[in-house]
Copies of this chain bind each other. A is one copy, B any other.
Amino acid sequence: MTASRRLIMGESRRPGFKSRPEHQTLSFVKDAHKPYISLTVLSESAVIMMDGTTRTVVSNYDKLMEKAKGIIVLESARSLMLWDMETKMPPKGITLRSEQLALLKQFEHRMCIDPEIGALLQEIQAQPGYEALTKLQKKNLSLLRKKYDEMTKLPEELVVETAKQRVIAYNTWKKAKVAKDFSLFEPELEKLVNLRRRAAEILMNAKGTATPYDALIDIFEPKMPADEIAKIFDELKKGLVAIVEKCRIAPKQPDVSILKRKVPIDAQREISNSLAKFIKYDVDSKEAGGRIDETEHPFTSGYYDDVRITTHYYENNFTSSMFSILHEAGHAIYDQNLNSEWMYQPIGEGCSYGFHESQSRFVENMIGRSLEFWVYYLPKLKELAGNTFSDVELDTFVRAINQVEPSKIRVEADEVTYCLHVIIRFEIERELIAGKIAVADLPKIWNQKYEDYLGINIENDSEGVMQDVHWAQGYFGYFPTYALGNIYSGQILVALEKDIPDWKGQIKKGSFHKVKQWLANNVHQHGKLYSPLDLLRKITGEEINVKHYLDYLNEKYAKLYGFNQRH
């Protein structure tokens, strides 16, 4: 039932890693003896037969990568402090934490706008030896150039003020949500929106996007204009609304009463660990690279060898923790299975937010809510949950966890209505950043759209416009990636089925190994080497296409609800 947010390192996600043999770790530790900002070391492979210009290019490249590494390491440190803020920090620590985060953000900003980066990039691209660089090296340079160009346009004062306002707005949001009082949150949100609009204007000019909002989306999903998204989402909306309606009128409705059965928190924790193990997210061994904690809103945070996820446990709603674990573990294995040779390089992270979401949704829904998985896992669940489910049959269970029913809360939405929640947010923030909507009007507009798209009446803003954390932290342009991820996952599924026709049989037998290997090879290992649409083309051979995701849903829910998928 849960499709949850992920904690963000600055404004770009950083993922991945491949199980690294001990000797590599040791050799890295040896390197660690050297001063952090080392003198430029020529790449050994290139040293032997290069002419003067190539030598300069390689030397400049290494200098730039050393700088990129510093930025990445600092981002990972700040990300840990955010993780701690959510999971472990004593409440009184918030003011100190806001100082710490602002300071690190300020360092990060200064490192990103280091004029030497600009000079080295200009120099390297002007030299004839530039052509000797590999595709991978060129991509590293272009990612660094993109970041540099974006950041040099933002004044430090704006960056620092935004970092602080993110913390303040977030904490105000928490209080306002408890108090169910949007008016508490409104002034802090308004300040944050204004700061982000200022940044968006500047970034629009730097990137040459059509609108300020496009410039914000580009942070999370490169080269994906709002106009394009709107077109795709319109098609998606039509398809989803049709499926929702078919489910609504189907005679064969699921019995969801079993989902309310009490499962003790300790048993749920064991279930979490067993699911993590199934997905090959390692949290429990002596060499583990991850851990599971508890927060109100589940998220994933980390980099390569230290990728942490969170979940929440409700005694009366055991599926909440189950599916949030699967969702976050889907993110986590992406981060852990990036190419280990690319650690500390710009290409050493997930392709985009949308792609990351495609992986989490794939694991959560296409695996975790599939009949095949439950053929294998229902007996395990029965074992771990005591006698709670001994009378439950497979069919009843699978239909219950796939119930389609319009609801108020995005993170609790079923697979079919989920993207409608996202589309509402996309439409609202697009207008908000364009200045066509005032912050004060958000509750009214929000509630109207829930009425229109989902037939849902929102009674208070805590279960309405204040339900998500994203806006409270200034992440505008983030939401559309959730729906894009689902669309990608539909296309990735078709490619997977071509390569491993028996993949469902594997899952039935309790093995995620081959599927995970396929995902690692075809998605995770490519890091940021390609743009989202290029990677999609490489994996699937086609452009972005809503059809496959809608086909997947139609086929699945036709079976579950007994309707005719052709209509």
Contacts and interface: CB of A to CB of B under 8 A. Distances in A.
A306 B168 CA distance: 18
Given A76-B100, A77-B103, A95 B164 contact: no
Contact of A33 (B32, B90, B168): B168
Interface string A286-314: 11111101000000000111101000000
- Give the most central of A89, A90, A164, A290: most B CB within 10 Å: A90
A503 B167 CA distance: 44
Nearest to A164: B32
Interface stretch (A153-161, A261-269, A457-465, A480-488): A153-161
Nearest to A70: B103
Nearest to A110: B107
A290 B93 CA distance: 8
Interface string A85-99: 000111111011111
A92 B168 CA distance: 33
Nearest to A105: B36
Contact of A306 (B25, B74, B89, B156): B89
Contact of A160 (B28, B36, B90): B36
A29 interface: yes
A220 to B, nearest CB: 24
A346 to B, nearest CB: 16
Nearest to A75: B100
A48 interface: no
A81 interface: yes
A29 B305 CA distance: 35
B92 A104 contact: no
Contact of A84 (B84, B92, B304): B84
B164 A33 contact: yes
B33 A161 contact: yes
A93 B36 CA distance: 18
Nearest to A95: B28
Interface in A147-203: 156-157, 160-161, 164-165, 167-168, 191
Interface string A106-146: 11000000000000000000000000000000000000000
A73 interface: yes
Nearest to A101: B77
A147 to B, nearest CB: 18
Nearest to A99: B73
A91 to B, nearest CB: 6
A161 B286 contact: no
A469 to B, nearest CB: 19
Interface residues of A, number: 57
B305 A33 contact: no
A80 B96 CA distance: 11
A167 to B, nearest CB: 8
Contact of A96 (B76, B90, B165): B76
Contacts of A293: 88
Nearest to A97: B306
A409 interface: no
A38 to B, nearest CB: 10
Interface in A301-342: 303-306, 308
A244 interface: no
A100 B73 contact: yes
A510 to B, nearest CB: 25
A304 B100 CA distance: 14
Contact of A90 (B28, B161, B291): B291
Nearest to A25: B95
A418 B191 CA distance: 57
A150 B290 CA distance: 39
A93 B286 CA distance: 12
B99 A32 contact: yes
Contacts of A3: none
A317 B198 CA distance: 60
Interface in A266-292: 283, 286-291
Contacts of A288: 90-92
A283 B34 CA distance: 40
A102 interface: yes
A35 interface: yes
Give me the 6 closest cross-chain CB pairs, A-B, nearest first.
A93-B306, A92-B289, A92-B305, A77-B100, A35-B160, A90-B288
14 contacts: A29-B95, A32-B99, A33-B165, A35-B157, A35-B161, A36-B99, A36-B106, A73-B96, A73-B100, A90-B291, A91-B288, A91-B289, A96-B304, A99-B344
Interface of A: 25, 28-29, 32-37, 70, 73-74, 76-77, 80-81, 84, 88-93, 95-100, 102-104, 106-107, 156-157, 160-161, 164-165, 167-168, 191, 283, 286-291, 293, 303-306, 308, 344
Given A74-B100, A95-B305, A96-B306, 11 more contacts: A25-B95, A29-B98, A33-B191, A35-B160, A36-B106, A76-B96, A77-B104, A96-B303, A96-B304, A99-B344, A107-B107
